Structure 1
Amino acid sequence: MNEEGTRWRIAADPETVQRDLSRLVLTIVELVRQLVERQCVRRMEGGNLTDEQIEALGVTLMSLEEAMEDLCERFELTPADLNLDLGPLGTLLPAD
């Protein structure tokens, strides 16, 4: 209840809920994808991978990025839509 004694109500439009849930899920997937990509780059720069492993990682990372682009297009979201604003903490995803 709010201070006036009335109950708060949430407007749960099915289309809005589906879009917001899609946005949240894709944001989490994009965050994990970026973390994996950074870890791969660190391993490559550290010299811990063979040429074949580097090639495989490159192909995999490109495929993941394409899949994310396809999903964003399907749900009519842009990369900017996935970068949630956390207020004083800044945005969730780092700027590339």
Structure 2
Amino acid sequence: MTRTDSLAAASPTSLTNQPTGRVSLDPEKAEEGLAQLVLTVIELLRQLVERQAMRRVDSGNLNDEQIEKLGVALMNLEEKMDELKEHFNLDDDDLNIDLGPLGNLL
């Protein structure tokens, strides 16, 4: 069976009920798929910023006031992400997009 044959044999519901970690390709749910993709990119950037901040803190290049401001900013960003995930009915697993042979994104 060729790849085209297997796609043609798949029922419409099997294509829309994709496992967690995949962006929905259903045209009826395009907004949800786009929100999932955008929030995934934002979460990836948030994690990168957090790691960089921790490196700066560990290196001793920041004073106590800067560390406090950085911590508050990161907590606020995480809180906002939680609000957005709740608004779009997504969880952490939904943002960890499956990249196939490369593994998961996050």
TM norm structure 2: 0.75
Tell me what 2:27 maps to.
12
Aligned to 2:45, which of 32, 36, 54?
32
2:27 counterpart letter in structure 1: A
Change (3 A) 1:11 1:89: closer
Residue aligning to 1:62: 75
- Shift in CA distance, 50/85, structure 1 to aligned 2, threshold 3 Å: same
Q: Which has the higher contact order (CA 8 A, sep 6+)?
A: 2
Farther-moved stretch of structure 1 (84-93 vs 65-74): 84-93
Q: 1:88 to 1:71 in 2, by over 3 A?
A: same
Task: Tell me the residue number matched to 2:17.
Answer: none
**What is the CA-CA distance between 1:88 and the residue it aligns to?**
1.4
Gap regions ≥5 residues in structure 1: 4-9
Aligned amino acid, residue 12 of structure 1: P
The residue aligned with 1:91 is: 104
Q: In proportion to residue count, which structure has more helix? A: 2
In structure 1, distance between residues paired with 2:105 and 2:46? 13
Classify the secondary structure of the residue corresponding to 1:85.
Answer: coil
Residue type matched to 1:30 in 2?
A: E
Aligned mates of 1:65, 1:84 — CA distance in 2:
19
Which amino acid in 1 is paired with 2:82? E
- Cα distance in structure 1, aligned partners of 2:87 and 2:32: 11
Root-mean-square deviation over aligned CA pairs: 1.6
Structure 1 residue ranges (4+ consecutive) displaced by more than 4 angstroms after TM superposition: none
Percent sequence identity is: 58
1:44 Cα deviation (Å)? 0.3
